[in-house]
Structure 1
């Protein structure tokens, strides 16, 4: 895979205290990469070095092999979408005006702006005819955050940074917006770097996860890798609850269940990072009996047998 973002020996010190220490990380083009860690771990600091909201004390941050320190700051940020913890909408501007801010800076015509914003509004589940003329005060928290996502994506950036964007939302809104992010990531040629302290959210969204603690990168891996092969005691303890409650499809396959996919197998697809609960819900809603996970096929009987194996200590036989 082609690297999109590279952090090379990055340090950030405040009064001789390190927020980031000798950090090296590569994020691939087109990846949905999630940074996770406890409060104060350095994950948001790391995110903000990418668009130069924070300048490292030493080291390099590169996008497409170009050091961000050498790029004009306005040009850099115009190329990067940014979603904050709240929608952070301008209260005196309509939804359409808020969503078009970057497009105004780029000199898009009125018609082109309207078409782009209306298209994205529909993609995030907001009817353009009903919402574009509203003011931010007329929106719920979930609706405002959807508009924030539209604004970040409007200029078709190759890179979007999302800093704990759903932390203030209720569980239902949070789940809906997670689905929207997954759908948009599938539909758009965009790299997303997503910060959260919610392990379940990280496992649900990520192609890969970076675990940060005390300014240091503890482990990078797929959700399956993080759960089944934690690099150290901190990572294992941090994800301990998820290991017990959020068994993943990758763990089912690793335990020897399922069969290789054949040419005639078509239909529902899920990722290794999705949970058994999601598989059960998908099968129930669709009325189907199997799903495709990468190059493997899992059936409802595999799901039942795997759950039974957990009760008997994990032995398939």
Structure 2
């Protein structure tokens, strides 16, 4: 568990973080969202002490990070930057295994771990491990950056707007990779973005930050259906109008409990009804599983009809 307790960061007369407190639970995919300059990246960097707060405490599993050995702290935290930030004179394999080299992992074990993760992010190890960064696309380089961050099996991964420079197709592919990796790995992920749709798609919970102050914490459904103030409502206004999420469908009473062993495409609450429709179109099974609930093609039709009726009533 990560706790930020009354954290304040001041640059001259400007508050980057203004006495901010929040808790991130073990195993969460926790998204920090807000406009540029809101303080979300500063907040992220206080966790691994790239930024030292002016006052307040940051604790990981009850231990103040200020009292921890800096090298040991950062070795247990994966970190993905806005670009892949790969070393240009090192191969993909060498870049991906930097942390494992530092930890003196045996060569065979190191290779097996990197190959496993390369496969998980959709890069064939035989094709990519010997390439140089200059031979990679932006999306491929960012996938290698994710592999490097996860290589030493950290319990905590920090991701600082990692897909902001990518084209929409690569961005969407990498978002799905993060969703899949989070589902399969026992790690907490703290993800920074200024993209509302990205936040809604990825997050178990979202923290909205503005002018260094915490505006609201909640699930995607809670943020959209119960905004805490006018800023949150306006920030997510376009998403409320155009991108209904599966969490909202469940909250509206659609779906039924899943039965043991029941088939269905697995999805998450932060995915949209458009992704739901695509999943149904691409699958031979006419239902999806979200958390512990089943949504069928009939639920989709009925939900869209309810939106139309709601629109007609206004």
TM-score class, shorter-chain normalisation, is over 0.9
Uncovered stretches (5+) of structure 1, i.e. residues with no partner: none
TM-score by length of 1: 0.95
Uncovered stretches (5+) of structure 2, i.e. residues with no partner: none
- Aligned positions of 1:135-150 closer than 5 A: 135-150=132-147
Q: Does 1:247 align with 2:244?
A: yes
Give how far 1:248 is off: 1.2
Query: In structure 1, what is the Cα distance between the partners aligned to 2:114 and 2:261?
Result: 40
Q: Does 1:154 align with 2:151?
A: yes
- Aligned positions of 1:288-299 closer than 5 A: 288-299=285-296
Task: Give the root-mean-square deviation of aligned CA atoms.
Answer: 1.6
Q: Which moved more, 1:298-307 or 1:98-107?
A: 298-307
Give how far 1:297 is off: 2.9
Over 3 Å counting, the alpha-carbon distance change for 1:97 and 1:176 in structure 2 is same
Q: Does 1:193 align with 2:197?
A: no
Give how far 1:186 is off: 1.1
Give the counterpart of 1:112 among 94, 99, 109.
109
Give how far 1:289 is off: 2.3
Partner of 1:23: 20
1:69-100 residue CA offsets vs partner (Å, 9 max, x unmatched): 00111111111110000000111111111111
TM-score by length of 2: 0.96
Q: Which moved more, 1:114-123 or 1:42-51?
A: 114-123
Partner of 2:8: 11
Instruction: Give the aligned length.
Output: 313
1:160-196 residue CA offsets vs partner (Å, 9 max, x unmatched): 1000000000111111111111111111111100000
- Aligned positions of 1:83-94 closer than 5 A: 83-94=80-91
- Equivalent residues of 2:263, 2:285 under 8 A apart: no
Partner of 2:269: 272
Give how far 1:250 is off: 2.2
Query: In structure 1, what is the Cα distance between the partners aligned to 2:272 and 2:78?
Result: 29
Give how far 1:253 is off: 2.7
Give the counterpart of 1:204 among 201, 204, 207.
201
Give how far 1:266 is off: 4.2
- Equivalent residues of 2:96, 2:114 under 8 A apart: yes
Query: In structure 2, what is the Cα distance between the partners aligned to 1:68 and 1:264?
Result: 43
Query: In structure 1, what is the Cα distance between the partners aligned to 2:296 and 2:120?
Result: 31
- Equivalent residues of 2:34, 2:193 under 8 A apart: yes
Secondary structure of the structure 2 residue equivalent to 1:172 = helix
- Aligned positions of 1:39-78 closer than 5 A: 39-78=36-75
